[in-house]
Chains A and B, each alone.
Chain A
């Protein structure tokens, strides 16, 4: 899997997802549940706005000085006995990781949840050299067992799946014999995966935060799988997006406090694990060898542009949880492993406009994402900037918008055409009236609107005429 998950035009994907009633119910109830828990947790913390400002300052400062902190971080990782590799793109990253795995003669790999490994298509790369790669996060495990169904949320990847579907997949693929009860399903996954952990040669994780002052990798989880991945295998490979740094442990306090509350409404998750270097020589468990692969893959191109603020993102998913568009179309319709508002901003930046030019339009610009973002990324502002870039520099506006603008350009270019046109609008639209007030079934472009709601008719008299009639009467009031 790479950043793209579904082919075909956005409109077609969206229309298909809109018909998925279970997914839509699951998304709306997850949004409501997570939203309520987030609000409770942020209220209990107190001074939430000040926390957000601090988070914004820390992330902005880090991104503004990214080269400095990357250098410091990699120095510290090296000092603590780890090996750092900078990968320019997905190919360099997967090539390096394959080399490490082959050198170790490793066949069995366990993985903790990581979006960046999805982005670089790591599983496929490792499978191509004959490795068994097992996802161990419960949601990711379910998706993997179900023939690599793509994730639909960055925090809750299997949000779109029904427990009965999961049971059926477990029955078919894992010889499962019990009910669709989530407790029983999870227990089965626990026992299946325990063996995998114990046999694994290599453990692969993502990285929530890298602490520059110490070279520490911070993993924020609930299930405990990331702890297993970093405790049992003899080799650990951690893959991180190059922007995922904080300068100090004091900054890390602020970032963790924001992340767990914004993501899932928890004061802290069940496990926050800080790993500095491989295990010490006299220690028994933990990896003997630690590789930290720092991935650029298009991120450095965003530095210094109008879109730099997106690099502040800490992948909490709060913007997905409030987005009215995500609520209706779910994650898959976005066609990217990064869905929702953050995905609509980030995906075109990492993977180009060509395949993703519709994403910045998958927004009502209501600004709920911007309001909820724990590090104050102006998400809907960035979506507008994308639209601007698409129209102005890329010349890739949707055809309908281009035609409309052309027609408007022509209509507004001379006074006589405009006057004639606006007079005609009232007359022509009147012909479509069903009940004298609203148009329910419009032609052409208007159909897009009237498919889901009625369109009001223009007034019988134009503002220009009304103004003319009233001008004389009111001018000396």
Chain B
């Protein structure tokens, strides 16, 4: 296809770039996440296992579905012991497990400070259902994945296309628990997706 000539326009700037001059990306992310009713847990790599144990206390592995690839050894062992792993070999059974699960645990690829959003690139068999069907979604957010806003994330996708690469079949930008204001403008938190979303920030 021929390429279309296009007038270059100056892209408008978000005030988030001012905020990150005085606050860290993590601080801005946390402030935004509070606004959208995400529950925030801060931890460190060495305390991560303790944090996860506290979060899932009393719940058995068959009610905890996780989909995390290439996890560090310690986390990998914990997942193997305490959770049901998303297993492509089991096909549709994964979806049924997700539907029955109390917790779904995922690992974010990116996080957006401006809106308190986590980005999940659902490629390589990560599973769309893990962040959707369980009652509570726990998402692990390494502090290094936080970028200022949607623009950085979209730019990366644009770059992939320019380089002739594929984009994942599904990308989810998730911002807090599901909600609706369809009945008398009253905000109901937790409609079709998870009723609660827990952000575990690893710094």
Enumerate chain A interface residues (CB-CB to B < 8 A): 26, 29-30, 33, 44-47, 50-51, 53-54, 57, 61, 65, 68, 71-72, 75, 80, 136-139, 142, 156-159, 161-163, 166, 182-183, 185-186, 189-190, 193-194, 197-198, 213-214, 216, 222-225, 227-228, 230-232, 247-250, 252-254, 256-257, 264, 267-280, 282-286
Contacts and interface: CB of A to CB of B under 8 A. Distances in A.
B169 A223 contact: no
A69 to B, nearest CB: 8
Given A156-B185, A268-B175, A50 B95 contact: no
Contact of A267 (B11, B12, B115, B155): B115
B182 interface: yes
B96 to A, nearest CB: 8
A267 B150 CA distance: 10
A285 B94 contact: yes
Nearest to B116: A267
A289 to B, nearest CB: 13
A50 B99 contact: no
A71 B9 CA distance: 24
Nearest to B17: A46
A30 B194 CA distance: 26
B192 A225 contact: yes
Given A182-B188, A186-B188, A138 B182 contact: yes
The size bracket of the interface on B is 35 or more
Contacts of A182: 183-184, 186, 188
Nearest to B121: A274
A185 B183 contact: yes
A104 B161 CA distance: 33
Interface string B106-134: 00000010111100001101011100100
Contacts of A271: 172-175, 178, 193
Interface in B141-163: 150-151, 153-155, 157-158, 161
Contact of B179 (A222, A278, A286): A222
Contacts of A68: 1, 4
Contacts of B122: 283, 286
B168 interface: yes
B185 A29 contact: yes
Given A190-B192, A269-B175, A286 B170 contact: yes
Nearest to A136: B192
A267 B12 CA distance: 15
A279 B154 CA distance: 21
B184 A162 contact: yes
A276 B167 contact: yes
B24 interface: no
B115 A270 contact: no
B180 interface: yes
A216 B172 CA distance: 13
Nearest to B92: A284
Nearest to A30: B185
A54 B12 contact: yes
Contacts of B161: 213-214, 248-249
A270 B112 CA distance: 13
A51 B128 contact: no
A176 to B, nearest CB: 13
B9 to A, nearest CB: 5
Nearest to A65: B4
Contacts of B128: 227, 230-231, 285-286
B104 interface: no
B72 interface: no
Contacts of A185: 183
Given A270-B174, A280-B169, A253 B182 contact: no
Contacts of A284: 86, 88, 91-92, 94-95, 125, 127, 129
A95 to B, nearest CB: 28
Nearest to B162: A213
A270 B179 CA distance: 7
Given A223-B191, A284-B94, A157 B182 contact: yes
Contact of B150 (A157, A214, A268): A268
B43 interface: no
B118 to A, nearest CB: 11
A57 B9 CA distance: 8
10 contacts: A156-B185, A194-B192, A224-B193, A230-B170, A231-B129, A248-B161, A254-B11, A273-B170, A279-B170, A285-B94
Contacts of B36: 270
A250 B6 CA distance: 14
B71 interface: no
A47 B12 contact: yes
A50 B155 contact: no
Centre residue among A57, A156, A222, A270 by max chain B CB count within 10 A: A270
Nearest to B32: A267
A279 B129 CA distance: 13
A303 to B, nearest CB: 16
Contacts of B18: 46
B171 interface: yes
Given A283-B169, A284-B125, A285-B128, A198 B99 contact: yes
Contacts of A53: 9, 12
Given A71-B1, A194-B99, A223-B191, A248 B12 contact: no
B132 A228 contact: yes
Contact of A26 (B154, B178, B184): B184
B27 interface: no
A286 B182 contact: no
A285 B94 CA distance: 9
B7 A57 contact: yes
Contacts of B169: 80, 275-280, 283, 286
Nearest to A72: B1
Contacts of A193: 192
Given A47-B12, A223-B180, A268-B150, A249 B157 contact: yes
B15 interface: yes
A407 B175 CA distance: 62
Nearest to B35: A267
A410 B77 CA distance: 93
A274 B167 contact: yes
Contact of A285 (B127, B153, B172, B186): B127
